[in-house]
Amino acid sequence: MISFLISIAILILGYFVYGNILERIFGVNEHNKTPANRLADGVDFVVLPNWKVFLIQFLNIAGLGPIFGAIAGAMFGPVAFLWIVFGSIFAGSVHDYFSGMLSLRHEGKSISEVVGIYLGRNTQQIMRVFTVLLLIFVGTVFLVGPAKILDGMTDGFLSVWGWVAIILVYYFLSTLLPIDKVISKVYPVFGVAMLLMAVGLLGVLMFGDYHIPELTYDNLRNMSSSPQDTPIFPILFVTIACGAISGFHSTQSPLMARCMGNEKSGKVIFAGTMITEGIVALIWAAVSMTFFGSVEELNGAMALNGNNAAWAANEISLKMLGPVGGILALFGIVAAPITSGDTAFRSARLIIADTFNVSQIKFSKRLLLSLPLFAIAVALTQIEFGIIWRYFAWSNQTLATIVLWTISIYLVQSSKNYWVALIPAIFMTAVCSTYILIAPEGFGLNSALSYPIALFFTLIVLAWFVVRGKKISKVNHVNNE
C-alpha cells in the first residue's frame, strides 16, 4: 500500500513541478489568439469551456488503454508501478504537452503536419500515411472490442455484428457532425463515469480487505508466467502505453487545440490529462495485482481466460463495486473505447483534409473523406482482433517516438532545453527497435541478437540528431549575429 500511495503522490507532484517546467520551457503567451478564435468554423474550430476540453481530451486519450494495458502490465508485478509513474511524468507529459501546444501554435494542424514542419517533407508524407493507418487500426479495435463486450453483457441479444452496426452509426455521426453537437455533450458524462469508477476502486482498495504488493528489491523483477518469452524490456514498455506514453495521444491533441480559448490552458489539458490517465492506470494495476490474490494468481486467472483483459476488468468492476460497478463498467469499459474510436476516425478525416487542403465546413466534403475510412475499418473487422491489436501496440509507440524526436528538434531550433524530450526519445527508440526485433509479430529474434542491434540503431538515430542539431545551431548563430 505504501508504494502505491507514494506512486500517486509522485504523479501529482510531477504534474505541478514538471508541468510548470515544461510550460516555462515552451513559453506560453496567454495573449496569443488561439486557432479556435482565429479560424472559427463551427465544425472543428469551436471554443469550448476548459472543463469540457479537459474531459474530452481525457476520454480521447484514455479509452481502454489505462485499463486493459494496466491489467496486462500488472502481470509483470509491482515493477509496472515504476513505468507508469516515471513514464507518465518524464515521457508522456512531455509528449502530450508539446504535441498539443505545437499544434496550437501551428493553426491546430494535425500531428503529421507538425512533424513535417520540423523533420521535413519526406517524413511528413510518411507520417501522413502512417498516422491515418494507425487511426484506422484504433477505430477498428474500438469498434470490434466494445461490440464483443456488449454481446457478452446481453447474452447474444443482438450478436457481435449487430452491435458493430450500431457503433458504426454512432461513429458516422460523431465523425461528421460539428464537435459541439455530439462529442462535447456526450464525452463529459462518460469521462466523469470513468473517473468515478477509478475513484470507487481506489476507495475499496483503501478501506477494504485488500493488500497491494509493495515495490521491494525482491519483487523488482519479471513476475509474469513466462519471463523468458516476455522480458520486461521492451515488452512492459509497449504493453502499458496509455498510462505512460502513447503516440495515439498526439493524434488527439490537435482536436482539442482547435477548441482551446487560451494557451494558458495547455498544461492542465495536455499534461493534466496525461497525469490523470497515469493515476487511473496505477489504480487498475494495483487492483489487478490485489483482486485475484497475488500477481501469480492474476497470471493464472488471465491464462485460464485467454489473457482477456476485458474479462478481468468486468470481474473486478462487478465484484468490487457491486451493482454500481456494473453501470460504471458499461460506461468505462464499453463507452470509453467507443469514444476513443470515434475521435480516431475524426482525427483521420482531419489529417486527410490537412494533407489535401480540403475545407471541412461543408458536410458533403466531410462525408467524402470519411466514407473510405469506414469502408477500410469494416474490412479490417474480418481480421482477428489480437493480430490488429499487436501491430497497433508497436506502431503506437513508434509514433510516440517520432513525435518525441520532432519535439527535440523544435526545442533545438528554439534554443530551448531539448533534454526534456531527447532523453525519452532515446529511450523509446531503444524500446521500439528492440520490440520489433524480439516480438513474435516482428522478426522473432533472440534477445542476445536483438539488444545489440537495437542499441546500434538507437545510436545511429542519436548521431543523426547530433548532426542535425549542430546544423540548426549554426543557422541560429548566424541569424542572431
Residue 303 placed within a domain: yes
Residue 409 placed within a domain: no
Q: How far apart are CA 313 and CA 329, in angstroms?
A: 8
pTM exceeds 0.75 for this model: yes
Query: Which region, left, alpha or beta, applies to residue 353 given φ > 0 means left and ψ of -120 to 50 means alpha?
Result: alpha
For residue range 394-413, list pLDDT tens digits in order: 888 999 999 999 999 999 99
* Range with the poorest average pLDDT among 40-54, 164-178, 325-339, 343-357: 325-339
Residue 356 placed within a domain: yes
Q: Could you give the C-alpha distances from 227 to 77, 102, 230, 233, 347, in angstroms and in order?
A: 11, 40, 5, 11, 37
Residue 59 placed within a domain: yes
* Range with the poorest average pLDDT among 38-52, 336-350, 352-366: 336-350
Burial group, residue 157, by CB count within 10 angstroms (0-12, 13-18, 19+): exposed
pLDDT computed for residue 159 by the predictor: 83
pLDDT computed for residue 460 by the predictor: 97
* Arithmetic mean of pLDDT over the chain: 89
Residue 421 placed within a domain: no
Residue 320 placed within a domain: yes
By the 8 A CB rule, do 88 and 246 touch? no
CATH number at residue 362: 1.20.1740.10
pLDDT over 80 at 125, yes or no: yes
Residue 412 placed within a domain: no
pLDDT computed for residue 473 by the predictor: 82
Neighbours of 424 (CB within 10 A): 25
pLDDT computed for residue 390 by the predictor: 66
User: Coil, helix or strand for 444?
Assistant: coil
pLDDT computed for residue 353 by the predictor: 93
Q: What is the mean pLDDT of residues 61-79?
A: 87
C-alpha cell read off for 223? 513476475
| Closest C-alpha to 114, from 334, 346, 409 | 409
> 95: number of CA atoms within 13 Å, CB side?
35
Residue 424 placed within a domain: no
| Closest C-alpha to 405, from 340, 465, 475 | 465
pLDDT computed for residue 477 by the predictor: 62
| Closest C-alpha to 262, from 451, 11, 32 | 32
pLDDT over 70 at 387, yes or no: no
C-alpha cell read off for 349? 478525416
Q: How far apart are CA 454 and CA 451, in angstroms?
A: 5
Burial group, residue 17, by CB count within 10 angstroms (0-12, 13-18, 19+): exposed
Q: How far apart are CA 328 and CA 351, in angstroms?
A: 33
For residue range 145-191, list pLDDT tens digits in order: 788 777 777 777 788 888 888 988 988 888 999 998 888 888 888 88
The domain total for the chain is 1
Higher pLDDT, 231 or 160: 231
C-alpha cell read off for 402? 517520432
Residue 371's domain spans which residues? Answer: 2-394
pLDDT computed for residue 90 by the predictor: 97
